[in-house]
Amino acid sequence: MTKAKLKQLRHLSKEIELLKQQIEGLETVVVTDKVKGSLSEHPYIETTYTTKGLVHERSAKVERLKKQLQRRVDELMDLRQEVYEFVKTIDDSLIRQVVTLRHVNGLTWRQIARTIGAGTTWNSLRMMHDRFLEKL
């Protein structure tokens, strides 16, 4: 596991959510149209009405794009799972907490120091983290 892969974890989760939203957006399209009509009784005043509806896209292009997006989501989920598995293998509890808080939860070093407490400074946690990753 590299530092670069760990740094990507925060962004992987966001990208997965964005791709899922894109897939949902492809499934239905909102269509609007305007029609003219009038009352059935006197006075016959012409009025314009706006109608809206959903159209479920099922074209071959849309299906191919959905499959491509879903494959990318699956790849990103595999990467995210790989990072989670790596974190579970860290023996030292403090380092495991630091790695989890930094890369999974996305906290700053100062937030990590406040969360862990026990007289640790943000700089000492950062150096401990960096030394651990250099050993890999």
The rounded percent of the chain whose pLDDT value lies above 90 is: 26
Note the pLDDT tens digit of each residue in 22-54.
877 776 777 788 988 887 788 878 888 898 877
Q: In one letter, which amino acid is 131? A: R
- pLDDT bin (cut points 50, 70, 90) of residue 121 is very high
Over residues 46-73, the mean pLDDT reads 80
Residue 54's closest CA among 80, 81, 31? 31
In sequence order, the β-bridge partners of residue 55 are 29
Whole-prediction pTM = 0.61
